[in-house]
Amino acid sequence: MKFTDYADRLLRLDTKDIALLRYIFEGHEGIANTTTMDDNPTMVRIRIVPDFVEEADAILDALREEICFEICEANSR
């Protein structure tokens, strides 16, 4: 699998909620990686393994009950 095969979600959220977001995705090992953006600490890129896009989106939907975030960019490769 090439690096370009991954799907991305770029989220804007409060910095206090980033730890929870990362913790949840780390608990679902192998689905996605989360990375904060250097130039904007309120932005997080979620890089999703192609086979798990539906699962990652379901996790994000469930997280909406816990934290407030906006999906600024999404692509599915």
Instruction: State whether residue 76 is helix, strand or coil.
Output: coil
Question: What single letter denotes the amino acid at residue 42?
Answer: T
Q: Token match 């989220």: residue?
A: 11
**Coil, helix or strand for 17?**
helix
Domain edges within the chain: 3-75
Model confidence over 13-49: pLDDT tens digits?
999 999 999 999 999 999 999 999 888 989 999 999 9
Per-residue pLDDT, averaged over 48-75, amounts to: 93
What pTM did the predictor assign?
A: 0.86
Can you name the CATH fold of 3-75? Answer: Alpha-Beta Plaits (3.30.70)
By CB atoms closer than 10 A (0-12, 13-18, 19+), residue 60 is buried
66 forms bridges with which residues in the sheet?
none
Nearest CA-CA partner of 8 in 41, 61, 44, 40 = 44
